[in-house]
Structure 1
């Protein structure tokens, strides 16, 4: 009689490894990117002030706040709290140049200051600044691809900036 290899040991070992990896990742605070944060402690409805109505940051902020369960108000008068965004900056600076003194590497920065004030004058979130930096490499022979890459990086940086704001709002009680 031939003896069949036991598959259950390999299955058990694989399952145990997956379980340990899952526990390790959740224990260190890892969360999948783009996971919605619930805003249970934030007064509702919320009004966003300080940004142009259809600016990229405004659109991203509205999208993430609605995904997080916040109801938004068009006016400050009808809101229980006002999220004021001020000093939104989008900048870049040259990091390195090539042998012909042409810029080939840039540091991109997105930053904004925000505060949350309730209708009764309390300030659960004092003014604080969030900031994100990225490095963009722009070879001189790929101008079209580099400009598209810069646009994608900026959009990703805005998402990260808004994500940071929403997480800080979610931490308020």
Structure 2
């Protein structure tokens, strides 16, 4: 009784009224979000007649791994057997490179420009091209101060991992745009 009286006195309303208000606000937000067409990131809408998909790439491809991760839990199924696939997503090439973006007066490199280039297409089982060959070049600047030399290599590797995930996400968005 004391705690209920305390809760009522502190806010001026009974506890049940505040819970009801929060419930109403939460319900209103859920209705508005669902009504505007919002979908969680990672939701991939590829026609069901095109699944399962076979991702054809070089062994150990970071983009292939990222595509697998992004499709986990979605309605799109992947297969390891190209004969079972209704769509074959081919990662034709992927490469990483860097170039010097800035130097100081002594010729010391201050920043690099990192590139991650991915070429891909998608074909049906009969070889008809569903998505034409496309090239994606992702670019990011990378500062290179004199301190924390060991940490910079790790940071660069993390940026390239991020590139692979971003490339996979963009590939899936392009598939959805072309195939729907």
Equivalent in the alignment of 1:8: none
More helix by share: 2
Deviation at 1:30, TM superposition (A): 9.1
Distance 2:115 2:66 in 1: 17
Taking structure 1 as the reference length, what is the TM-score of the superposition? Answer: 0.75
**Structure 2 unaligned runs (5+)?**
1-24
Equivalent in the alignment of 1:3: none
Distance 1:142 1:38 in 2: 40
Deviation at 1:31, TM superposition (A): 7.7
Equivalent in the alignment of 1:10: none
Equivalent in the alignment of 1:168: 174
Distance 2:89 2:82 in 1: 9
Distance 1:144 1:96 in 2: 20
Instruction: Look at both structures and tell me which one has the larger radius of gyration over its CA atoms.
Output: 2
Moved over 6 A (4+): 29-32
Identify the match of residue 45 of structure 1 among 41, 52, 65: 52
Taking structure 2 as the reference length, what is the TM-score of the superposition? Answer: 0.72
Alignment RMSD (CA, Å): 3.0
Distance 1:104 1:31 in 2: 41
